[in-house]
Structure 1
Amino acid sequence: MTREHDRGGEAGAEARPSATVMLLRECAAGGLEVYLLRRAATMRFAPGMHVFPGGGVDERDTEPGIRWAGPPPAEWAARLGVAEPMARALVCAAVRETFEESGVLLAGPPAGGVVADTRGPDWEADRTALVDRALSFTAFLGDRGLVLRSDLLRAWSRWITPRREARRFDTRFFAAALPAGQHTRDVGGEADRVAWMRPAEAVAAWQRGELEMLPPTVTTCAELAEYGSPAAALAARRHIAPIEPAMREVGGELRFVVPEGVPYPRR
């Protein structure tokens, strides 16, 4: 992969709106760790790549009846640069996909607070129903008397899949601290490995060829490595602008070309 200047590319499939969340926690020895999943080799998109929990927007993520606490969709629309219904959908997808892929739920009772634990057969049954699309996220929260906690999310960046790719995503990256009392768990499905890692160590492993990541994940890990704690990362003021790498032939190989100004590490 290279950092050459992006001069555009061929038109491809329309990019699907999606969301991903960097779950952060304090390290015992100080600093922060981020949660990574390795996508199974059988996956059509990015097989074998380490990613953050996330996925595409479901049409039911746009439902206006979702129970909500924190900054309203209109405020998120201004932050993300989209219309209010899409802002609602992106935040909903971020929270839903995080629960589906890690078991962590950024929600709580209307009076305040966050769910203390999501382990147990009843939670697993609901998580499976969400994955299978047998249950909408709006119904899930309503049945449990919970509200989505949008105040636990921080908008981080926006990456768009290169135009030459057959499967393309327009992804908003969010950051969130692991809620007290909750635990990530390996729920299988799309991932065959999960790990908490220091962001700098993840980048170093990628540079040694020991851990595969796509440019958005590598860049985000490099950015997170600049912060000494989850609180510091979540307090960072971020300018959200679209970043769209290109696919170019470099030295006889087809590689990602990241736009100028993006802090993409060298390999």
Structure 2
Amino acid sequence: MTTDLVDLPPRFGMDRPAFDRLGDRPPGDLRVATSVILVRDGAEGIEVFLLQRAAGMAFAAGMSVFPGGGLDDADRAALAEGLVDGGVAQAAATTWGTSAEAAAALLACGVRETYEETGVLLADVPRPPERTRKRLVAREVGLRDVVGRVDAERLRPWARWLTPELMPRRYDTAFFVAAVPDGQEPDGATSEAVGAGWCTPARALREWEDGHRALMPPTWAVLTELSAAPDTATLLAGAADRRPQPVTPSFRPSGERVAIAVPPHAFGSGR
């Protein structure tokens, strides 16, 4: 069966020589990661929290991204150590099409990375002092020392993107959506970012179109879908039942340019 593909905007494509050079190097290892879309209701509709990655970063330098990062060994032990409830992990495994251990790791990683990069703790516990966040970043303490147990209800499934094999740096990224708990405010105080703030998805997309903001295809696609959401409550309610299907962009060479295309479910499906 042939799956129709949707071409992304030409800006995401590349010149043919650059594409040909990708084939001269071995594909990068696929690393599992999470990204958390923090949302709130603003005066003009739903707003998302975006970080601007530092120019010197090895991956996604200068890009506007949602908070997130790769799994570490402590995340992978989340189920075994009781950081994620077994029943919750099994339900999440059904959502993501993976094992309970792997699903628990995604949940733990999402909470940890969000706290490290924004100061927002997605948990039903009082927000700890700033020194606890710094100790977690330095791996002097673990996430279980901070939250006890992950409150998975705060993390709703949204999307899953895989980097194509030709790329030197590859990620299998689970995107979650979450509302900021009452009394907390993200700050973006991370060494990986040089700026951070709230904006509507539509504004972020306009700034990208005007050349004032850099986005990667997954971020652009997520923002495109979010721009149609009426409010945070409706968004989160709908996300609870999503079953994200993997999205792996494809390259479509045509003359001197190579377009990037994705399956239609990249812009909303997952049920």
Could you tell me the TM-score, scaled by structure 1's length?
0.84
Tell me, yes or no, if the aligned pair for 1:36 and 1:196 is still in contact at 8 Å. Answer: yes
Tell me, yes or no, if the aligned pair for 1:48 and 1:212 is still in contact at 8 Å. Answer: yes
With over 3 angstroms needed to count, the CA separation of the structure-2 counterparts of 1:41 and 1:253, relative to structure 1, is farther
Tell me, yes or no, if the aligned pair for 2:27 and 2:168 is still in contact at 8 Å. Answer: yes
Q: In structure 1, the residue corresponding to 2:150 is in which secondary structure?
A: strand
State the alpha-carbon separation in 1 of the partners of residues 251 and 138 from structure 2: 33
State the alpha-carbon separation in 1 of the partners of residues 114 and 226 from structure 2: 19
Tell me, yes or no, if the aligned pair for 2:44 and 2:200 is still in contact at 8 Å. Answer: no
State the alpha-carbon separation in 2 of the partners of residues 239 and 149 from structure 1: 19
Residue 112 of structure 1 is matched in structure 2 by none
Q: Percent identity?
A: 36
Residue 161 of structure 1 is matched in structure 2 by 163
Kindly report which structure 2 residues correspond to 1:210-249, keeping only aligned pairs within 5 A, or say none. Answer: 210-236=212-238, 237-247=241-251, 249=253
With over 3 angstroms needed to count, the CA separation of the structure-2 counterparts of 1:262 and 1:79, relative to structure 1, is closer
Tell me, yes or no, if the aligned pair for 1:3 and 1:260 is still in contact at 8 Å. Answer: no
Tell me, yes or no, if the aligned pair for 1:164 and 1:247 is still in contact at 8 Å. Answer: no
Q: What is the letter of the counterpart of residue 40 of structure 2? A: R
Choose from 28, 42, 49 the match for 2:56: 42
Kindly report which structure 2 residues correspond to 1:16-165, keeping only aligned pairs within 5 A, or say none. Answer: 16-27=31-42, 29-63=43-77, 64-68=80-84, 72-109=88-125, 115=126, 117-118=127-128, 123-141=129-147, 146-165=148-167
Q: What is the letter of the counterpart of residue 76 of structure 1? A: A
Residue 173 of structure 1 is matched in structure 2 by 175
Residue 12 of structure 2 is matched in structure 1 by none
Unpaired runs of 5+ residues, structure 2, are 1-5, 10-21
With over 3 angstroms needed to count, the CA separation of the structure-2 counterparts of 1:200 and 1:30, relative to structure 1, is closer
State the alpha-carbon separation in 2 of the partners of residues 192 and 230 from structure 1: 27
Residue 12 of structure 1 is matched in structure 2 by 27
1:252 aligns with 2:267: no
Q: What is the letter of the counterpart of residue 238 of structure 1? A: R
Q: In structure 2, the residue corresponding to 1:32 is in which secondary structure?
A: strand
Residue 16 of structure 2 is matched in structure 1 by none
Tell me, yes or no, if the aligned pair for 2:204 and 2:213 is still in contact at 8 Å. Answer: yes
With over 3 angstroms needed to count, the CA separation of the structure-2 counterparts of 1:77 and 1:239, relative to structure 1, is closer
With over 3 angstroms needed to count, the CA separation of the structure-2 counterparts of 1:86 and 1:31, relative to structure 1, is same
**Once the two structures are superposed, what CA deviation does each residue of 1:148-188 show, in whole Å capped at 9, x if it has no partner?**
21111110010001211111110000000011101111313
Tell me the matched-pair count: 245
Structure with greater proportional helix content = 2
Q: What is the letter of the counterpart of residue 257 of structure 1? A: A
Report the alpha carbon displacement of residue 211 of structure 1 after superposing the two structures with TM. 0.7
Bigger mean CA offset, 65-74 vs 186-195: 65-74
Could you tell me the TM-score, scaled by structure 2's length?
0.82
Report the alpha carbon displacement of residue 235 of structure 1 after superposing the two structures with TM. 1.1
Q: In structure 2, the residue corresponding to 1:233 is in which secondary structure?
A: helix
Q: In structure 2, the residue corresponding to 1:107 is in which secondary structure?
A: coil
State the alpha-carbon separation in 2 of the partners of residues 53 and 14 from structure 1: 22
Q: In structure 1, the residue corresponding to 2:39 is in which secondary structure?
A: strand
With over 3 angstroms needed to count, the CA separation of the structure-2 counterparts of 1:98 and 1:172, relative to structure 1, is same
